[in-house]
Amino acid sequence: TCVNPTFITEHPAVMSPLAKYHRSKKGLTERFECFVATKEICNAYTELNNPRVQRERFEEQAKDKDAGDDEAQLVDEVFVDALEHGLSPTGGWGMGIDRFAMFMSDSQNIKEVLLFPAMKPLVPVVASKAPSGNGGDYEKRAIAAEAKIEELAAKLAELEKRIGK
């Protein structure tokens, strides 16, 4: 468990299908993640720009998906086609406002702070999907989640005022 700020580096290639392979360590990638207080704050890697290797990784992921791995992805033909037309060496890191909100609100799961309706159902949707006899509990949890979203949105607006946005 990473309580203190921790960088985890050199992930296995099987865990990082879009990251470039490590220059000197076979089977690893050029990638790191930063964790603070047990939460992932950012993710960064050098982009894989070899279309042949990328296709092989996608195909391996597709096999894993067929075998029941819910997190595995299918082959992205459009992306491979773009790579075949040439992608210069690229890299970057990501630290979304969702991860920042999760960290600041001490949430345990990123879904607790997502503001996107497609990923965080509204009260009527949750209540209508509730198993028979349990609707009240689902509705209470959905109302509490909606209140938390409103609270986070207010905090975000306050933070934007402070930084002058």
Q: pLDDT per residue over 15-29, tens digit each?
A: 888 899 899 999 999
pLDDT at residue 3 greater than cutoff 90: no
Element (H, E) at 63: helix 51-66
Q: How far is CA 151 from CA 87, 89, 148, 157, in A?
A: 42, 41, 5, 10
Average pLDDT rounded to a whole number, residues 30-49: 89
pLDDT band at 56 (very low <50, low <70, confident <90, very high): very high
The Cβ of residue 17 has, within 10 Å, a number of other Cβ atoms equal to: 19
pTM: predicted TM-score of the whole model, two decimal places: 0.55
